[in-house]
Structure 1
C-alpha cells in the first residue's frame, strides 16, 4: 500500500489571531488511539496525554518520546493556568521559510499533556495560548471531531462519498491507495490560504533527497470553479524511504491550489504517483472528486 511521504503533504501556515477569533468554525479534529490531531488555517496541532506526574523523573520519559533534549530552548508561559514548559524546536528551512515546531508540556490534573504546533514563519503565541486554554477548559466543540474511519468526508461544505478504500494520514490529510492523496485546510482569509500552499511548495522544493524537476502554473476546475494552480513534478528516486521504495514510483505529481469555495477560503494540495491508477482525464479517482484539468 502506497502513501505520499509525510513532508510533502505537511499542512503549515502562520496567521494572526485575536482572543475573540472564532477559529472553531475552521477547526477539524480526529482521534487516533490516545492522540488527537487538529487542523486549522493550515496549522497542524496534536495533543496527547500520559499517565505521568509533572516532575523531573517522569517528564524525562515523556520528553524522550518526542525527542526533546535537555538543551532544547525551554520557557514557561505564565499566562496559562497550569504549570508548564514550552519547548521551541523551530528551524530555518530557507532564507524566507521557517518551520515552527513548538511543544507545550502541561500539568493537566493527574496527567501530563503535550500539545504540539507545527507551522511556518513567526510563531503565533496568541493563538497557541488561546488553543491551549480552550483545550484545558474543554471548550473545543464536539462538532469539530470527525470519524477516524473514512467512507465520506465533508469538504468545504460538500459531502463526498469515498467508500472504504481511504485512510487519514493526518486530520484533513487523506490517502486512497492507487487513487491519490490530498490535504486541505480552511482559512480565515484567502491570503492565508494562498500563503499556505506557497509554503507547502517551498517545503517540498527544499526537502533533501528528492527534487522538483518541473513546475508551472496551470488552469484547473476546482470544485466547479476555474482557477490557477501550481503544478509540480517531484522526482522521488533519491528519497531514502522504505515506503517510496516499496511503491516502485519514480515521480509524484502535485497540485497546489487556494480558492474561495462556498464561502470558505480553502488551501489544498493534491498528489499522485506516476504508477497510480490514472484515468483518461489525467488524474486518479480521488483527485477527480474535486478537480479537473482544463482542456
Structure 2
C-alpha cells in the first residue's frame, strides 16, 4: 500500500513539474525598482513586497496607496493557502470591451504585505492567480524567466535578438526603439488565447489612442520565418493632441496585429511605427524587420 501511494505521489509530482515547466517556457519577467512585472498567455501581472507588517492598520494604508476606497468590496480567497484580501474591479469600455483589474494583499511567510496585480479583458482567472501567487511567494520562478532591464539583447518568444542599447522597455514584453519602431508580444499555450489577445488589443487601441482608422486590411507577411496573415491598421492622428503624438511627432501610425505558432508556442504580437520613423525600402523600420517582412517568401 505504501509503495502504491509512493508511485501515485511521484506520478502527481511529475505531472505538476511538467505543467510548470511548460508555463515557465512561456513566462517572461523583469525586476524594476522593487516591482516585478510578468507576462504569459496575454496576461500582465505584477508583484511587490513592502516592509509593512500584515495587520489592519497597515492594510488600510496600503489600500489607500493603491486607490482602493472603502466603498469597494474587499473579499478573501479561501482557496489560497496564504492569508489574503482581494479586490476585483471591472470597467466597461466601448466596443463591448471590459477591463478587469484584480489586486491581492497577501500575508507572506515573513508576515509582510505582498501585493499582486493582475490585468485582463472580459474576465479574470482565480485559478491562474492562485497558482502564480503560490509560485512567486515560494520563490519557484526560474531565473531563466527573467529578462535584463538592458535592451542590448532581448528574448523574443524564445529567440535572442540583439538590439544594441538604444531601445527602451515600455512594459513587460513591450520594446520601443526611437524612430525604429515598437512591438509588444505574449507567448500563449493555445491558438484561441493568442487570437483573443490580438482581438482585444485591436479593440483597446481603437478606444484609447484617439486616432481615426483610415485603413484596415488583412495582409500576407513572413513572421519569424512563418508565412501567415496579419491585420494591418493605419491610424491618422492629424489634429489630435495626445501623449503618443507629442512623444513621437508623427501624424500616422501603422500597426500590424499577428497571431501565429512560433517555436512550439503561439505568439500574439503587435508591431507599430510612425510615418516619421526610419522606414527602410522594405516598408518597415529596423525593429520590425527583426521579426517580420511584408509578403510571403
TM-score normalised by L of structure 1: 0.88
Point out the more displaced range, 62-71 or 215-224. 62-71
> C-alpha offsets along residues 107-156 of structure 1, whole Å, 9 cap, x if unaligned?
22242111100111221111111111111212211211111111112223
> C-alpha offsets along residues 49-70 of structure 1, whole Å, 9 cap, x if unaligned?
2111223332233223322222
> C-alpha offsets along residues 49-98 of structure 1, whole Å, 9 cap, x if unaligned?
21112233322332233222221232111122222111111212246432
In the alignment, which residue of structure 1 is the partner of 2:58?
58
Q: RMSD between aligned alpha carbons?
A: 2.0
Return 5+ residue gaps in structure 2 as ranges.
1-14
Return 5+ residue gaps in structure 1 as ranges.
1-17
Point out the more displaced range, 231-240 or 135-144. 231-240
| Residue 265 of structure 1: how far off its partner (Å) | 0.9
Query: Which structure's residues are more often helix, by fraction?
Result: 2
In the alignment, which residue of structure 2 is the partner of 1:143?
144
Rg: which structure is higher? Answer: 2
In the alignment, which residue of structure 2 is the partner of 1:40?
40
| Residue 243 of structure 1: how far off its partner (Å) | 5.0
- Structure 1 CA distance for aligned equivalents of residues 32 and 87 of structure 2: 24
- Structure 2 CA distance for aligned equivalents of residues 169 and 41 of structure 1: 19
TM-score normalised by L of structure 2: 0.87
| Residue 239 of structure 1: how far off its partner (Å) | 5.4
Answer yes or no: is 1:93 the counterpart of 2:93. yes
Inter-CA distance 143–208: structure 2 relative to 1 (3 Å threshold): closer
In the alignment, which residue of structure 2 is the partner of 1:287?
288
In the alignment, which residue of structure 2 is the partner of 1:11?
none
> C-alpha offsets along residues 259-294 of structure 1, whole Å, 9 cap, x if unaligned?
111222111000111211111111110000001111
- Structure 2 CA distance for aligned equivalents of residues 210 and 58 of structure 1: 43
Asked whether the equivalents of residues 19 and 126 of structure 1 are also in contact (C-alpha less than 8 Å), the reply is no
Asked whether the equivalents of residues 86 and 103 of structure 1 are also in contact (C-alpha less than 8 Å), the reply is yes
> C-alpha offsets along residues 192-241 of structure 1, whole Å, 9 cap, x if unaligned?
11111111101112226333332111111111211110011223356553
- Structure 1 CA distance for aligned equivalents of residues 94 and 141 of structure 2: 34
